[in-house]
Amino acid sequence: MTPFIMVIFGATGDLAQNKLMPSLFSLFKDKLLPKDFFIVGFSRRDFAIEDFHKYFATEKEDPRWGVFTKHLFYELGSFEDATAYQKLEKQLEEIDKKMGSSASRLFYLATPPDHYETILDNLVATKLSAGENVKVIIEKPFGKDLETAIHLDKKLAEIFDEKQIFRVDHYLGKETVQNMLAFRFANGIFEPVWNKQFIDHVQITFAEESGIGKRGRFFDGVGILRDVTQNHMMQLVSAVAMESPKSFTKEDLRDARAKVIGSMKMADGESIVKGQYEGYRKEENVSPQSQTETFVGLKLFVETERFAGVPFYIRAGKKMPKEVVEISVVFTQTCHILFKEFGCPEIGNVITFRIQPNEGISLRFIAKKPGAKLGLESVDMKFNYKESFGTSGLEAYQRVLLDIFGGDQMLFNRSDELESSWKLITNILRKWESGKGEIQIYKTGTWGPKEADGLIEKDGRKWL
């Protein structure tokens, strides 16, 4: 791996503290980073370098943290301050002198999206953006609607080549999301039934036990439709519905994902539920009159030959009964054809991909209950990464960072994927802005408003 300097804008924010720095330290401990690497935090918090090192308290208890901090630098400055970028430029030049060569430069925008343009403009003004060995990493949400996403993409294209742009959706780095490709296309027993002839419907649940915590300033006005559905959920749908890529290469895989996302359509104007948990408007930095959704449920179709007519039911919410992200592919119940008089389970075969926690895959099938009489019951076969391989694999951000260092864009969004997903989401946002879609208040610790149950139950189905 080649030497690199990573500048993290927003280095004292939640993302850097909870994901980026722990992941970088883990990669360091596992000897997956090059000998020469440097991480420069850029933030307006008035820290000396020692304060910056101490800021990541959960890591400093490890004896190797002291060695790691020798690679860790800090630059004080606001994103609007041109002088701070000039100081940053000098610091990067000093690091190059230490190494005796010019390292790859990675600019990670771990900030709220409203700072992206300011940072990019200053990178251009100082010519820090120049050079083929420069990469820019953008966190979601990438824009706030179709118009702003296109505008940001155009700006990036004016500064960087596509091969230099890494648009992060860390869910693509999850082991189970990647394993779905192996499960579908490396096992000949599943591909013949992976279509509308055998699949009744698909359910995707993204549930968080927590509320918004200290993210009120960011989350209020953004909402879960933009924060989760536009990116994570669209990628999970594409993992289920994509055709086999021509090859397991970056562009072929992105082509397959882009085709699915471009084929997504809402079932109709009524097949969406907008919810907000009780007490949300009393959270810190949230408007007392907020109409921001903390829950969204929707029904959509993927209009491809393989999945035409198969409904995808999606729900994402905060303050839910438990923390879980999973995809359930529900097959058409055929048990009644032969065994109707013996009593068939309501739901037959289901393949569930558990993305978190305890990543793994389960297969539900129908078996005869022990006894003299014929009775049928659903049972599960389960695969768990930790039990089968002795490890859960790399954490998602570790995988993402390694691919950035290696220049592999396979697990990163391409501009056409983003544009297609924003078209779908922006249509929903426009309806909400016009007054359609009244927000439904739901109790904390529940699966969202009752209207979310109605979304699927009106079709004679139930949430699993």
82-86, 214-218, 337-341: least confidently modelled range: 337-341
Is 80 exceeded by the pLDDT of residue 260? yes
pLDDT at 27: 94
Return the DSSP state at 455.
H
- Torsion sign (Cα): 276, 282, 285, 288: positive
The highest-level CATH class for domain 172-457 is: alpha beta
The domain locations on the chain are 4-139, 172-457
299 or 356, greater pLDDT: 299
Is the pLDDT assigned to residue 60 strictly greater than 60?
no
Question: Is-above-0.95 flag for pTM?
Answer: no
Please name the residues in contact with 316: beta carbons below 8 A apart, sequence gap of 6 or more. 205, 206, 207, 224, 228, 229, 232, 233, 295, 296, 297
The pLDDT tens digits for 62-85 are 888 889 999 999 999 999 999 999
Is position 232 annotated as part of the catalytic site?
yes
Beta strands per DSSP E along 12-142: 37-43, 72-76, 104-109, 134-139
Which tokens hold the place of 43? 């933030």
pLDDT tens track for 309-334: 999 999 999 999 999 999 999 999 88
Q: Are 300 and 267 in contact (CB under 8 A)?
A: yes
pLDDT of 280 higher than 80: yes
The backbone torsions φ and ψ at residue 86, rounded to the nearest 5 degrees and listed phi first, read -65, -40
At residue 167 the predicted structure's pLDDT band, cuts being 50, 70 and 90, is very high
Highest mean pLDDT: which of 115-129, 207-221, 403-417? 115-129
Question: Which of 3.40.50.720, 3.30.830.10, 2.40.50.140, 3.40.50.300 would CATH assign to domain 4-139?
Answer: 3.40.50.720
Q: Which of 170, 201, 232, 336 is catalytic?
A: 232
- pLDDT for res 123: 96
- Would you say 142 and 231 are in contact if contact means Cβ atoms under 8 Å apart? yes
pLDDT digits (tens, 9 = 90+) for 98-155: 876 678 999 999 988 889 999 999 999 999 999 889 999 998 878 888 998 899 999 9
Q: Rounded distance, CA 161 to CA 144, Å?
A: 23
Binned at pLDDT 50, 70 and 90, residue 390 comes out as confident
